[in-house]
Structure 1
Amino acid sequence: MLTPQTSPRTVYNTAASLDGYIATTDHSLAWLLSRESDESGPMGFTEFLAGVGAIAMGANTYRWILDNEGTQPWPYTVPSWVCTHREFPRRTDADIRFTSAEIPALHKEMTDVAAGKDLWIVGGGELAATFADHGLLDEIIVSIAPVTLGAGAPLLPRELELRMTELAANGEFACLRYAVVRGQS
């Protein structure tokens, strides 16, 4: 049975290799960043980001941004939570909140701040899976790149029942939108 979609939705939107990895074993995204896509095209990021009111990411995603985009302005304008038990440098150019809160409490805090907009689980797969474990993941959007990695960080390391609701081609990517199916055992 599908849960009716109400705002805000909690959405895991990411890119993956054809064999289901979101990063290589050494956390590289070179395979992704060399690909062509249209930010304003079908299932593009421009429209998606306009509907986002809060972001959650894992420690590895935050570390990747620091290591690879550290001198550039923070890429997001909405409050961003970093789920971690580690210490990280604090950026001063954005609303970044470090947390080790339980996912239900984090989800409530994000929902309160998002002002009716969607919550975006940026990465990684384990964080999205933890939201799903608590019944707090509504949708998965994945852009499949035409490459295989053979190993790395998995797209979603849990069994989860999904229903495809949209399919589009954007540049080199096959873009898929799935609703999370609830009530399946």
Structure 2
Amino acid sequence: MTAYRYFTATTLDGFLADEHDSLDWLLSQPTGTDGILPYDDFISDIGAVVVGRTTYQWVLDHSETVDGAWVFTQPSFVFTHRSLASTAEDITSLSGSPAQHRASLEAAADGMDIWIVGGGDLAAEFARAGMLDEIFVSIAPVTLGAGKPLLGGRFDLELQDHGTNGALLEARYRVVGERD
């Protein structure tokens, strides 16, 4: 069965990016190879990728690929309310709620998992739709005071695993559901 997974990083005060969408705080953190979920193991289970428009643009602007090509080989879906000029065949622009697109997302994943790359508001939309099974978060020893929140909403989570990777604290949570 396809699982919906949010694999991300946050500051200690709960922000994915600063108020200018910068991830400089994360890129300066020392990491190691002893984390509880190495990226290569995680990505090998991913059949489709979901991103919001801001995350999509940030990845395009900051990836070290040839000619700004998309970094993921999996079918990718960008949730946006604006028009989108895609950079690859496997990128599809979507609007509306995640539930409206569940069948097509799962068909694209072909029995593998779906990675909600970001942002936090998009991950929260998936959670509210009952389409977010796991949050894997690396917590950096940095505070920003303001920015884009890790998860836009109120949810109960159950800790499944925890550990460290360099300077980062890692935690894996099962999404229990939305709080009243």
TM-score (norm 1): 0.89
Answering whether residue 151 of structure 2 is matched by residue 156 of structure 1, we say: yes
**How many angstroms apart in 2 are the aligned matches of 1:18 and 1:113?**
34
Q: Would you say 1:8 and 2:37 are equivalent positions?
A: no
**Equivalent of 2:130, from 135, 138, 146?**
135
Alpha carbons of 1:86 and 1:170: their partners in 2 closer, same or farther (altered >3 Å)? same
Q: Deviations over 1:127-184 (max 9, x none)?
A: 0000111111111111001101110000011110000000011111111000011487
1:183 and 1:100, CA in 2 relative to 1: closer, same or farther beyond 3 A? closer
Q: Which residue of 1 aligns with 2:121?
A: 126
Alignment partner of 1:100 out of 92, 95, 99: 95
| Residue aligned with 1:46, SS | helix
User: Counterpart in 2 of 1:115?
Assistant: 110
- Residue 42 of structure 1 aligns with an amino acid whose one-letter code is I
* Unaligned residue ranges in structure 2 (runs of 5+): none
1:168: which partner in 2? Answer: 163
Matches within 5 A, 1:2-151: 7-38=1-32, 41-69=35-63, 71-92=67-88, 95-151=90-146
Q: Which deviates further from its counterpart, 113-122 or 68-77?
A: 68-77
State TM-score, norm by structure 2: 0.91
Q: Secondary structure at the match of 1:116?
A: coil
How far off its partner does 1:86 sit?
Answer: 1.4
> In 1, distance between residues paired with 2:107 and 2:16?
29
